[in-house]
Amino acid sequence: MKIFSSEQLYEADKATVERQEITSEALMERAGTQIFNWLHQRMQGAPVPIHIFCGIGDNGGDGLVVGRLLIEHGYNVIVYVVNCSDKRSKNFLLNYGKIKNATKKWPILMKSEADFPEINNEDIIVDAIFGIGLNRCPVGWVKKLIQYLNENKAFKLAIDIPSGLFSNSPLEDKEAVVNANHTLTFQTPKLAFFLPETASFVSNFDVLDIGLDLEFLQNTEPLAQLISKPEAQRFYKPRDKFGHKGTYGHALIVAGSYGKIGAAVLSTAAAFRIGAGMVSTFVPKCGYNILQTSIPEAMVITDKEEAFISDITVDFEPSAIGIGMGIGKNKATVEALKSIFQKKNIPFVIDADALNNISENKELLKLIPKNSVLTPHPGELKRLIGEWKDDYDKLEKVKKFSGKHGLVVIIKGAYTIIVYGDKLYINTSGNPGMATAGSGDALSGVITGLLSQGYDPLLASVFGVYIHGRAGDIAFGQMGYEAVMAGDIIDNLAEAYLDLLEQPEIENESNGEQ
Ligand SMILES: NC(=O)C1=CN([C@@H]2O[C@H](COP(=O)(O)OP(=O)(O)OC[C@H]3O[C@@H](n4cnc5c(N)ncnc54)[C@H](OP(=O)(O)O)[C@@H]3O)[C@@H](O)[C@H]2O)[C@@H](O)CC1
Ligand SMILES: [K+]
């Protein structure tokens, strides 16, 4: 699914009105009706008081449509106009008149703190104060109103976006954003829903298709792509019936140091489980028995050093290399990295201590083969690109870094973001149970295993992050968040593949006959 900026959504709105030959008022009616249907389906006529707070722009207009439809269906509705500016939009005014006609009285006009109504914890609040047209941070009594609503325990439903949140620019005042329990967003989710500083305001959301012009949506380059099952299904490369282990490549995992051989074990297992034909693992001598015993399928090559990696020599041409998991920061290891980056001109997956070594020895950056994949967590990313002001500044910095060095950068987080030049892919699978030691080693193994099977680096990253997250979701389903260990994620890669390939059941349309 594509994520568009607010500017693009206004263009889509315009294109829709022109091409479908409808009025913008009709489009607002369509949007408001969708919200009404959502509420009506869940409330089934329940007499719970519904307080609708409408701004004076089109978001407020949506709120007025919802209010009118609810009133017409007999709900207990109180509509307020948050009179925060003199410039009422055309469609707001049209619907202001319509609701008056329906109810024979005007909505309650709010002009200051004195107008704040009493709301019970069992009531419902609909937030239609600001939408994507927010152009400055709410201040004064409007900010106080937002805080007043937040203090109330009533269920808060935000229309399009929680008021006070900018859809694709930095948060200025987290005290001035509606803390919505649920958001119903039109046509596409907004970028703010997925970034660490703002995602918590939108913990639950549904996307309502309001039928914006398909041609515009299809032909417009989005701000970002959201990756979930349908996208992952498109990326999957089916296994060739006549393939042999050579068809799926020979991956090399370079990982581990004394006390951290587990990182090598996890990455190797993940590379196998994701489908690499063969995996060789390069470890310091101390890792030999551990690897051979825990993963008999792997071939093991050892360094001349007992406890760390100092010189990576292998006598075959790997189809992909995953490097860095648990390797430590020994000087000899840094030299070994330099040398292998120069010797092997294929995309690498670069993780953990390899990233830290690069941050401390920036000359290594120039040696990394183009199209390699970097998998930093936030701390590693900061060491690589420096501090950032906010989430958007971070994305711009990573885009620049990715473009300059020709690398894929995976920013790990609750919503992992894959950056390749100007392109952003936001993953939707995964859960807090995956915040556990070794989860990153498993991801590096997964991406290395996909590269070795011929997925290109960007695809291997986007698909790999999705399937790793999905495996984590399946593990969560079996054991809850707390108990998930990295090994459980790897064990569930199989289930994640099966889940991906499962065809949706075709509904029986023959009059309910079985
Ligand atoms: N695009 C689509 O396809 C569709 C969009 N639709 C809906 O339209 C919504 C966008 O509507 P919108 O453009 O009228 O902007 P909106 O969010 O109502 O706010 C603008 C108003 O707020 C004011 N204002 C802003 N900041 C303020 C502040 N801090 N403090 C005080 N005032 C502030 C600003 O006033 P001004 O700056 O002029 O003084 C202006 O009057 C969108 O989210 C969706 O719900 C659907 O109906 C159909 C399809
Ligand atoms: K809103």
Q: What is the reported pLDDT for 173?
A: 95
Q: Is the pLDDT of residue 513 over 60?
A: no
Binding residue positions: 58-62, 127, 160, 163, 263, 326, 377, 412-416, 440-441
Q: Is the pLDDT of residue 260 over 80?
A: yes
Question: pLDDT per residue over 457-506, tens digit each?
Answer: 999 999 999 999 999 999 999 999 999 999 999 999 999 999 999 876 55
User: What stretch of H or E contains 278?
Assistant: strand 278-283
Assigned CATH class of 232-237+244-501: alpha beta
Question: pLDDT per residue over 210-237, tens digit each?
Answer: 999 999 999 999 999 999 999 999 999 9
Q: What is the ipTM of this complex?
A: 0.98
Question: pLDDT per residue over 72-94, tens digit each?
Answer: 999 999 999 999 888 899 999 99
State whether the beta carbon of 446 lies less than 6 angstroms from ligand 1. Answer: no
102 falls in which pLDDT band (50, 70, 90)? confident
Q: Which atom of ligand 1 is nearest to the CA of 187?
A: 3
The answer to whether 263 and 325 are in contact (CB under 8 A) is yes
Q: Give Cα 424 distance to the centre of its chain.
A: 10
The CATH architecture assigned to 2-221 reads 3-Layer(aba) Sandwich (3.40)
Which of 476, 385, 397, 399 minimizes the C-alpha distance to 430? Answer: 476
Q: Is the pLDDT of residue 243 over 80?
A: no
Q: Is the pLDDT of residue 118 over 70?
A: yes
Ligand nearest to C-alpha 210: 1
Q: What is the reported pLDDT for 506?
A: 56
Question: pLDDT per residue over 415-429, tens digit each?
Answer: 999 999 999 999 999
Residue nearest to atom 9 of ligand 1 (CA): 59
- Helix, strand, coil share of the chain (percent; to 5): 45, 15, 40
Q: Is the pLDDT of residue 511 over 60?
A: no
Residue nearest to atom 30 of ligand 1 (CA): 138
Residue of 86, 132, 193, 208 best suited for mutating to test ligand 1, as the one with most atoms within 8 Å of CB: 132
Residue 163 exposed, middle or buried by CB count within 10 Å (0-12, 13-18, 19+): buried
Residue 56 vs residues 17, 158, 252, 330: alpha-carbon distances, Å: 21, 16, 60, 62
Spans of all domains in the chain: 2-221, 232-237+244-501
Q: Is the pLDDT of residue 95 over 70?
A: yes
Q: What is the reported pLDDT for 180?
A: 96
Ligand nearest to C-alpha 140: 1
* Mean residue pLDDT across the chain: 94
Q: What is the widest separation between alpha-carbon atoms in the chain?
A: 88
Q: What is the reported pLDDT for 512?
A: 37
Q: What is the reported pLDDT for 504?
A: 65
**Within this chain, domains 2-221 and 232-237+244-501 share the same CATH topology:** no
Q: Under 8 Å CB-to-CB from 261, ≥6 apart: which residues? A: 283, 286, 287, 290, 291, 326
CA-to-CA distance for 2 and 5, rounded, in angstroms? 10
Q: Is the pLDDT of residue 56 over 70?
A: yes
